[in-house]
Amino acid sequence: MQTLPAGIDRFVVGNLAADEMMKRRVLLVDDEEGVLQVCEAALRQLAGVEVATESSSRRAIERLAAEGFDLLVSDIRMPEVTGLELLRAARQTDPNLAAIILTGFPSVESAVESMKLGAVDYLVKPFSIEQFQAAVRAQLEGSRLREENRLLRRQMERAYCCGDILGESPVMRKLCEKIQRTCETDFDVLILGETGTGKELVARAIHKRSKRRQGPFVPVNCGAIPEELMEREFFGHERGAFTGANSRGLGLLEYAHGGTFFLDEINQLPQRLQGKLLRVLQERRLRRVGGTEEIEFDVRIVAASSVSLEEEVRQARFRPDLYHRINVARIEVPPLRERTEDIPLLANRFLDHYSRELGRATAPLGAEVMEVLVNYSWPGNVRELQNVIKRALAWAREESIRLDDLPEEIVTHSGEKTPVSQGSFFQTREIHLKSFETEYFTKLLRQSGGDVSSAAREAQLPRGTFYRLLKKHALNAADFRPGREVPGPGGSPAR
């Protein structure tokens, strides 16, 4: 059975990987009929292997060019074309083809030449059946892993639609198209989206693809600077403008000259400063604190907000003229719950990143774990998913990440998504899913007589996860023990 990287087989590749993987094809070439028959019989004992044989190395070259093989096994001394010449021809047809060279006349020169041509093993006759089968299994497994890595790299390369923005869903493709169109202009931009959706990544993608890419990208979080310091942080100050100002200081707007000034959470900008910023943006001229000279500057403003600025304007917390000034090009970043098909890509990307950061082999995400991740609503969006993967990797003690490595609230509330609209597909699906789970766990507890260990084994779930799901559906295992009134689905007594 071939298993692709966690999350890729099921959610990205689709039908490429199935429970029973397609057979691996091996071309066996030897001019000695006896050796050919013995090796063929040994290969046919291996599960999932399809064998093709050739006693003519010249015909083998033709078959390599016309057919697809996963492994070439060839003798080195043959009358028509030698094994090394055959391997050289195979490399021209398929540079990634795995190969094993057989020989009854070993030499350092032939071994070295075989390795240079890409042979991954070199067996000296006579060899045992077990030794031969082990070599073939190892090379087929290595070939499979290389294919998976190439597939994963291609998926990841295609998945990066703009800069560091990862996603292949329709809403992300539309987002990236809008970013690309925005980059072709020099208009100011307003980016809207919930916390953790990646608004700064969008701002950086716009900067890197604009004509200002050689200039600085200056980000500032409007909620992180104390109000009394904000004016001089933005506009700079002259010497002597305040106590301790022993030299002139450039402001962030001046520093961003020729580049992009990113105002994150602009809704948190104090109203007193909103008016000053509006005038500066309209005139593209500023005056340092304590100064009299007006200084011209050239920046592109990209602002972001995690709340509705229209509502902020209605509540008189944000100036309408400043809102209209920055709302020229508008980009809305979708929440993660609206692009669940991107979750496997993101989860595997974060897993790979933090595994390398910790200096350990990547622990794959099991199918059950991926199912939970895909069905969770992610109120904290991509940032929350990133932190969950990081924490799960730190907690994991097995070779793969299991459900018990995820935070309890993620597992417990997985599937509790907010429906898109009344009577929608999502709402109907969640109702049926909840009904199925309740009925399933009720039947399990009845069959086991309230024995949670037995029921969890039957469901193939960890005990901790099983308890959390019982709690989610208000089921008490004690109610199903002998002598107790057995409840029906949902906890009501069975009639």
Quote the tokens at residue 379: 């109120």
pLDDT of residue 150: 57
> What mean pLDDT do residues 8-16 have?
32
How many Å apart are CA 246 and CA 103, to the nearest integer? Answer: 83
Q: How high is the pLDDT of residue 412?
A: 81
For residue 409, pLDDT beyond 80: yes
pLDDT > 60? residue 281? yes
- Please enumerate in sequence order all residues whose Cβ is within 8 A of that of 3, keeping only pairs 6 or more positions apart, or say none: 9, 17
Q: Of the given ranges (75-84, 200-209, 239-248), which has the lowest mean pLDDT?
A: 239-248
Whole-number Å distance between alpha carbons of 307 and 329: 17
Tell me the C-alpha distance between 479 and 474, whole Å: 11
Distance of CA 392 to the CA centre of its chain: 15
DSSP 401: B
Choose among 301, 331, 359: nearest CA to 191: 331
**Is the pLDDT assigned to residue 301 strictly greater than 90?**
yes
309, 267 in Cβ contact below 8 A?
A: yes
Query: What CA dihedral angle connects 124, 128, 129 and 135, to 10 degrees?
Result: -50
pLDDT tier for residue 299 given thresholds of 50, 70 and 90: very high
| pLDDT value, residue 10 | 31
| Cα gap 482→469, rounded to integer Å | 22
DSSP string, 219-283: EEETTTS-HHHHHHHHH-B-TTSSTT--S-B--HHHHTTTSEEEEETGGGS-HHHHHHHHHHHHH
Dihedral, CA of residue 135, residue 138, residue 142 and residue 145, to nearest 10: 160
* DSSP-derived secondary structure letter, 365: B
- Mean pLDDT in the chain? 81
Q: Say what the pLDDT of residue 259 is.
A: 95
Please state the three-class secondary structure of 196-223 as a single string. CCCHHHHHHHHHHHCCCCCCCEEEEECC
Select the more confidently predicted residue: 467 or 283. Answer: 283
Residue given tokens 């070259």 in the structure block = 61
Quote the CA–CA distance of 378 and 338 in Å, as a whole number: 10
74 close to 121: Cβ distance less than 8 angstroms: no
Confidence of residue 22 (pLDDT cuts 50, 70, 90): low
pLDDT at 103 (0 to 100): 82
- Taken in order 247, 250, 252, 253, is the CA torsion positive or negative? positive
- Residue 425: is its pLDDT beyond 70? no
pLDDT category at 423 given cuts 50, 70, 90 is very low
Instruction: Give the tens place of pLDDT for each residue, 119-162.
Output: 667 788 888 889 889 888 888 887 776 665 555 554 444 445 56
Position 495 pLDDT exceeds 80: no
Q: Which residue did the predictor score with more confidence, 189 or 78?
A: 189
DSSP type of residue 27 = E
Q: Which pTM was predicted?
A: 0.56
Question: Residue 289 corresponds to which tokens in the numbers above?
Answer: 């604190």
Residue 416 confidence class, pLDDT cut points 50, 70, 90: low
pLDDT for the residue numbered 244: 79
pLDDT at 489: 46
pLDDT score at 278: 94
The C-alpha atoms of residue 439 and residue 457 are separated, in whole angstroms, by: 17
Instruction: Give residue 456's identity as a one-letter amino acid code.
Output: A
pLDDT of 68 > 60? The answer is yes
Query: What's the pLDDT at 211?
Result: 94
pLDDT tens per residue, range 450-487? 888 888 888 888 777 787 788 877 888 888 887 665 44
Using alpha carbons, select from 374, 344, 347, 361 the residue that is nearest to residue 400. 361
Q: What is the pLDDT of residue 79?
A: 86
Block residue for tokens 């907010």: 418
Six token digits for residue 262: 């990113």
Q: Closest Cα partner for 74 from 91, 146, 66?
A: 91
Share of the chain above pLDDT 70, in %: 82
Residue 378 pLDDT > 70: yes
> Residue 264 is encoded by which pair of tokens?
């994150």
Of 23-37, 136-150, 332-346, the poorest mean pLDDT is in 136-150
- E-state strands within 105-199: 121-124, 160-162, 165-166, 189-192
What integer pLDDT is reported at residue 157 of this predicted model? 45
Beta strands at 294-296 and 285-287: parallel, antiparallel or unpaired:
antiparallel
Q: Write down the pLDDT at residue 432.
A: 67
Query: Helix, strand, or coil here: 41?
Result: helix
CA distance 334 to 172: 8
Quick one: which of 430, 431, 479 has its CA closest to 455? 479
Where is mean pLDDT largest: 5-14, 103-112, 344-353?
344-353
